[in-house]
Amino acid sequence: MALSGSDASSDSARLAPSTTGDSAQRARPVIGLTTYLEQAKQGVWDVRAAFLPEQYFDAVAASGGIAVLLPPQPGPDAAAPAVLDGLDGLILTGGLDVEPSLYGAERHPSTDPGRPDRDAWELALFRGAEERRMPVLAICRGLQLVNVARGGTLHQHLPEALGTERYRVGGGVFATNEVQVQDGSRLAGLVGRGPIEVHSYHHQGVDRLGDGLVVTARTDDGLVQAFESDGEGYLVGVQWHPEENREDRRLFAGLVAEASVYAGSRREGALA
C-alpha cells in the first residue's frame, strides 16, 4: 500500500534513529569494575558467579557512568585488550590479598589464600589501561595491586608492622580513620585538602612505593593512604573504601568525568 506524503513523513520519523538520544547515551562513559568469581547461592542454585557489592556500581551510576562487571577471564593477556576496547574507564575494586610472590615475598601466615586468576586478570587490565591512558581508580586491594604492578612491595600484616588493628576491626564492620590529604594533589581537587574521615577494611598496605607514583594522603602513623601517577595519565589509588561513604562518591564522579573526556577523544580519533 502506498503511503501519503504525511504518512511517509511520519513513518520516517518513527524509523529514524534519535540523534539526541544517541548523543545522550554516548555521553555516559562505560566503566569496567573488576570482580571475583565466587561460589554464590540464589534460589535452588549454588554456583560460581561474578560477585561485587552493589555499592560499587551504584556509585558509578549515580556519578553518570554505566557500570560493567569484569570477572576474571581465561587467557587474560589476550582477553584484556578486547575488553578494554569497549571501556572508557577502569575501577580496580577491593578484595582479598595480592599474591606475595608477585612482589618477591614469602607468604605471611595471615595473608589470604592466593587468587591467581584475579591477580593475572587485573594486572592485564591495568597494564592495558595504562597503555591506552585510560582513567583508572584503584580501591583498597586495587591500590595494592597497582603498587605491585609498578614494582612496589606491601606490608603483609599491618598489626606487626605498625602495632595496631585500627584498619581492620573485623566482623564485616568498616573502621573509621582520619587521613591527611596532600594540598595541590589531584585527590585534593576531588575531596579537598586536609583531614578527612574514611572507611577502612584492610590488614595490608604499601611498603615500598612503586615507580612513578606520588603519595597524596597518609594517616598519622605514616601509612600510605592514597597515591596518584606522576605522569599525564589519570590514576588515583586510595587504600580506603569510598563506595561505603556517600561523600566519597566524589572519587567516582572524578573518574566518570575523566572517562567522559577519554570517550570523547576516542570518538574524535575514530572520526579523524
Domain spans, the chain: 29-271
Question: Cα–Cα distance between 95 and 209 in angstroms, integer?
Answer: 20
Rg over alpha carbons for the chain, rounded to the nearest Å, is 21
**Stretches in the chain below the pLDDT threshold 50:** 1-25
Torsion angle, alpha carbons of 36, 175, 153, 192, to 10 = 100
Q: What is the pLDDT of residue 9?
A: 37
Write the secondary structure of 23-49 as one string of H (helix), E (strand) and C (coil): HHHHCCCEEEEECEEEEEEECCEEEEE
Question: Cα–Cα distance between 237 and 214 in angstroms, integer?
Answer: 10
Question: Cα–Cα distance between 235 and 268 in angstroms, integer?
Answer: 23
CB 221 within 8 A of CB 157: no
Q: What is the pLDDT of residue 12?
A: 35
CB 52 within 8 A of CB 69: yes
HSE at residue 199, side-chain half, CA atoms within 13 A, is 15
Q: What is the pLDDT of residue 26?
A: 55
Q: What is the pLDDT of residue 19?
A: 38
Query: Catalytic residue numbers?
Result: 140, 241, 243
Q: What is the pLDDT of residue 248?
A: 81
Question: Cα–Cα distance between 17 and 202 in angstroms, integer?
Answer: 49
List the grid coordinates of 148: 605491585
List the grid coordinates of 191: 575531596
Q: Which fold has domain 29-271?
A: Rossmann fold (3.40.50)
Q: pLDDT tens for residues 107-136?
A: 999 999 999 999 999 999 999 999 999 999
